[in-house]
Amino acid sequence: MTRNILSLQVPFHRAAVGEEEISAVAEVIRSNWLTMGAKTLQFEQEFARYVGAPFALAVSSCTAALHLALEAIGLQPGDEVLLPTTTFTATAEVVTYFGARPVLVDVDPATMNIDPTDARWRVTPRTKVIIPVHFAGQPCDMEEVIALSESHDLRVIEDAAHALPASFRGHPVGSICEFTAFSFYATKTLSTGEGGMVTTTNERCAERMKIMRLHGISRDAWNRYSSEGSWRYDVQEAGYKYNLTDLQAAIGLVQLAKCDAMCAARKRIAERYNAAFSSNPALQIPTVRHDRQSSWHLYILRLRPQILGFGRDEFMAALKARRIGTSVHFIPLHLHTYYQRKFGYRRGDFPNAEAQYDRCLSLPIFPSMQEEDVERVIDAVEEVCQIGQTAPSVADAR
């Protein structure tokens, strides 16, 4: 009882897992092969088919996927990598592993995706890579990104941690550029608890990443304890321990089979939110361009504090008091201590990202949300919007 009173009425996220995932994991446990094996290979094949990629490698996280892709293209100390400031630290952190420099780019104020015009302006002779992040699940303008990459000979690694499934002009994310990195973290649209996938069109890089994800030892090392395997292996490079396990892959296979249905459920929630909030002058609903499909990983609501009479933090606190879970995506990287200390970024450097950050919050959007959960969120948002309008003004109080 006490727990019910204290817990959130609508949490920010609830994992879409159940009996099917439990059975799949139980089957792996009974098989007695727990780490990377047949299930992981099956997951890679089915995932590659789903996104239309020639090669897919299952890894322990999206961070590992981004790291392996940068390693495969041979990023060097002093190289520069363009990426949006509105992202999670993982996108930039992997660049620093190489002694290379994350060059932050401002975002398009409508979509909060990387602004290709600002990116172009920041290119130098040292720029080697661009990492577009498909923020909240909406693909970036990939035509612009590809044009920039071609004109300056840049490699493209898409950060699709939010974007499964999503598409740009009918092309699924994962089939568009040379590399794409996906996340299966606990809150993501396909979750294995922790996990990720890197897809590529480059066979040579696929081979390299396959070796590097497992200590740099020859490609079938994972198989060395099976009856078909061999104890003999060769260490070709100093690699990483980035493999996925069959326990995780079993969950991933179940989740992949319902990925479209889960996306459709999130889309319905987004449409319901849009319908409820679009005519409220204090609120701004997400902008999704007509030529792309979002995964609707996040529903980003933006506030107009001058109309509301108060700001984002107060808005979130008022929703919390009504037991609605929310979050903020993201505190722009240039506002964090590390990026300021190490690379000299300052508040004021990226005005669009800052302006959107100051007034955005993420509402609950997950497939198992019931109609009444969605209504509760809408009612709470509308109620909170009234606070500023009904609170006595200074003049009234006199």
- Comparison of 192 and 284: residue with beta carbon closer to ligand PLP: 192
Name the pairing type of β-strands 299-303 and 360-363: antiparallel
Which H or E run includes 361? strand 360-363
The string of DSSP letters for 23-68 reads: HHHHHHHHHT--SSSHHHHHHHHHHHHHHT-SEEEEES-HHHHHHH
Give least dist CB 391 to ligand PLP, A.
Answer: 36
Contact map string, positions 57 to 96, toward ligand PLP, x by CB under 6 A: ----xxx-----------------------xx-xx-----
Residue 99 near residue 233 (C-beta atoms within 8 A): no
Residue 362 near residue 12 (C-beta atoms within 8 A): yes
Number of shown-chain residues binding ligand PLP (CB under 6 A):
14
Give least dist CB 211 to ligand PLP, A.
Answer: 21
**Binding test (CB under 6 A) with ligand PLP, winner from 71, 80, 108, 159:** 159
Return the bridge partners of 107, or none. Answer: 114
| Distance in angstroms (rounded) separating the CA atoms of residues 266 and 164 | 12
- Comparison of 90 and 377: residue with beta carbon closer to ligand PLP: 90
What are residue 89's phi and psi, to 5 degrees?
A: -60, -25
Q: How many helices (H) and strands (E) does the chain have?
A: 16, 13
Give least dist CB 366 to ligand PLP, A.
Answer: 15
Query: Token pair for residue 212?
Result: 């590097």
Give least dist CB 186 to ligand PLP, A.
Answer: 9
DSSP code for 190: S
**Binding test (CB under 6 A) with ligand PLP, winner from 113, 127, 138, 183:** 183
Contacts to ligand PLP from residues 119-148, by CB under 6 A? 133
Give least dist CB 57 to ligand PLP, A.
Answer: 14
Give the orientation angle of helix 259-277 with respect to helix 371-390, to 10 degrees: 30
- Comparison of 160 and 308: residue with beta carbon closer to ligand PLP: 160
| Distance in angstroms (rounded) separating the CA atoms of residues 254 and 257 | 5
Catalytic residue among 188, 241, 258, 342: 188
- Comparison of 157 and 161: residue with beta carbon closer to ligand PLP: 161
What are residue 120's phi and psi, to 5 degrees?
A: -60, -40
241 is annotated as an active-site residue:
no
Contacts to ligand PLP from residues 220-259, by CB under 6 A? none
DSSP code for 34: -
Q: Of the ranges 67-75, 122-130, 157-165, 264-272, which one interacts with ligand PLP (CB under 6 A)?
A: 157-165
Catalytic residue ranges:
188
Chain residues that interact with ligand PLP, rule: CB under 6 A: 61-63, 87-88, 90-91, 133, 159, 161-162, 183, 185, 196
